[in-house]
Chain A
Amino acid sequence: MKLTLSSSPHLRTKRDTGQVMRLVLYAMLPGVACQLYFFGWGVMVQAIIALITAIATEAAILALRNKSVIRNLSDYSAVLTACLLAVSIPPTLPWWMTVIGTFFAIAIVKQLYGGLGYNLFNPAMIAYVVLLVSFPAAMTQWLPPVSLQATELNFADTLSLIFTGFSVDGMDITQVKTTIDGITSATPLDYVKTGLTQSQTYSELLNSGLFNSSVADSAAAGWSWVGLAYALGGLLLLRLKVISWHIPGSMVLSVIICALLMHLINPDIYASPLFHLLNGSVLFGAFFIATDPVSASTTQKGRLVFGAMIGFWIVIIRTFGGYPDAVAFAVIIMNMAVPLIDYYTRPRTYGYSRGKQ
């Protein structure tokens, strides 16, 4: 019998990094399928572009840093980053923007900081913000759901739109975006934000435009279904104990509480909690972005604070900020605060009472 001598911890999880990352990828499938169903082929093409860029960049930089390329690539972290970015960006974004974003995420945010485990910030979210700041027009060109599109986009159209800027019939993105009613569509968040600045009330907005058609077909429903599908995948991750409940729980709760307080103060100008929760990327962010084990807080209490503050910033930035959605900004702000949170929420060492050394 062979006795191994080693120091603690003696109980180890049986999963390695690659398996965890793969489980997260599998858990994204319901959401991705939903996006494919509602918004067409774009997300798949973006995922492929992002994947190729991510793997090539990661391999090149690992080779430059004299690290084992195969071993580090097989932890699937670059693949996950690429997929997280691909589902966050508009499905018809020009290909070179996706390439720039993915390159930035892997080369600068991840590898320049020392590779997996050393990055201060969530690579996918920094890439998203870099793209949003650099190309604000292209990054807000979201297609309406397939059922409302005046022109049906097939796979060839999508490809051609991404790589040349025009569909096979020569229509550009603004023409493609036009819905059956002849109205250029925006996302629900964008729509409500613009409407509110034009001094319409929130309840008026909910009964007009985007939200007017039957619930299942409306644009808002399309977005909400995608969010709920990601939440389903996220619950799967919770069940498999890949992520803990602290961050998504506190983040969702915090969004609800902050939005509810503001909604109660003035329901005409502040959107309802349900609207905040089901639109944009709150649910996706809560389960897939904020739970990134590297850039999130590491203590149990810290995670509660981290999630709650992200929720708070989401509602604040959405309501008072310049951009319609805020998950990426909120996550990045709180990534910066993680060292501080971790410092003040260190758990008590067993056998010592709090406050004494």
Chain B
Amino acid sequence: MSELKELTVEGLWKNNPALVQLLGLCPLLAVTATVINGLGLGLATMLVLIGSNVTVSLVRNIVRNEIRIPVFVMVIAAFVTIVQLLMNAFTYELYLTLGIFIPLIVTNCAIIGRAEAYASKNAVLPAAVDGLMMGAGFTAVLMVLGGMREALGSGTLLAGADRLFGSIATNWTITLFDTEQPFLLAILPPGAFLGMGLLIAVKNVIDARLAARQQPETKTVTRIRVTAES
């Protein structure tokens, strides 16, 4: 059990694919203009991660080492196609909004990275949990970044929630402030880079604080000065 717990901590925080491994930055920066876009792409990535991790783990003893990378890529591509068709069927508007970035999940390094580094060496259950948690960590970052950019840029949160959750979500949009002149920088690509940098900085600060708290206070040893003062 403790191994699964460790996988959870690794995926969500310590080894977060977006904040620590810095993998999959292209979709991360491109689609996070709103929370819902981020959540949509995050969920899609998570589904692909779980599917590919499970499959790779199942075939890990059959596939020869020399051809493992092409096999992994084909497995991932198959799951991306499944997710793409599902989104085309059930969340058509979101599918249109995310556009090219859904098929591009194939090239997300976080997925092949987990397949190669973890799933190809472990049993099915840990591999599935690893996929779930890595995907959840990625989704969380996408949502926070999307939230920051959406709140600063257009003054709303959860705009277009109906694209993902259907018609019950039509009035989920929270309007923080109304403006005729939105803060375009937050919505444009530079805003994504700035927001990402700030998120990484915040994570590092929290880590440093935690490390400082865990470290026991060192005793100050007073010594007699033996060298002459210059």
Contact = CB atoms under 8 A, between A and B. Distances in A.
Interface stretch (A134-142, A181-189, A220-228): A134-142
A128 to B, nearest CB: 12
Nearest to A137: B181
A133 B188 contact: yes
A232 to B, nearest CB: 35
A133 B181 contact: no
Contact of A130 (B181, B182, B185, B201): B185
Nearest to A100: B183
Q: Chain A: interface secondary structure?
A: helix
A337 interface: no
A88 to B, nearest CB: 17
Interface in B152-185: 181-185
A23 interface: no
A108 interface: yes
Contact of A138 (B181, B185, B188): B181
Interface of B: 181-186, 188, 190, 194, 201
Nearest to A131: B185
Interface string A89-125: 0000010010010000000100010000000000000
B194 A134 contact: no
Sort chain A's interface into a size bin.
10 to 19
Contacts of A112: 201
Given A133-B184, A135-B183, 8 more contacts: A97-B181, A100-B183, A112-B201, A133-B188, A134-B183, A134-B186, A135-B184, A137-B181
Contacts of A137: 181
The 8 closest A-B pairs by CB, nearest first: A134-B185, A134-B184, A134-B183, A135-B181, A133-B185, A130-B185, A138-B181, A133-B184
A211 to B, nearest CB: 31
B194 A108 contact: yes
B110 to A, nearest CB: 27
A134 B190 CA distance: 11
A53 to B, nearest CB: 16
Nearest to B190: A133
A134 B152 CA distance: 11
Could you say which of B183, B186, B190, B194 has the most chain A C-beta atoms within 10 Å of its C-beta? B183
A178 B214 CA distance: 65
A108 B194 CA distance: 9
A132 B215 CA distance: 47
A164 to B, nearest CB: 14
B176 to A, nearest CB: 15
B53 to A, nearest CB: 37
Nearest to B153: A134
A342 to B, nearest CB: 25
A97 B190 CA distance: 18
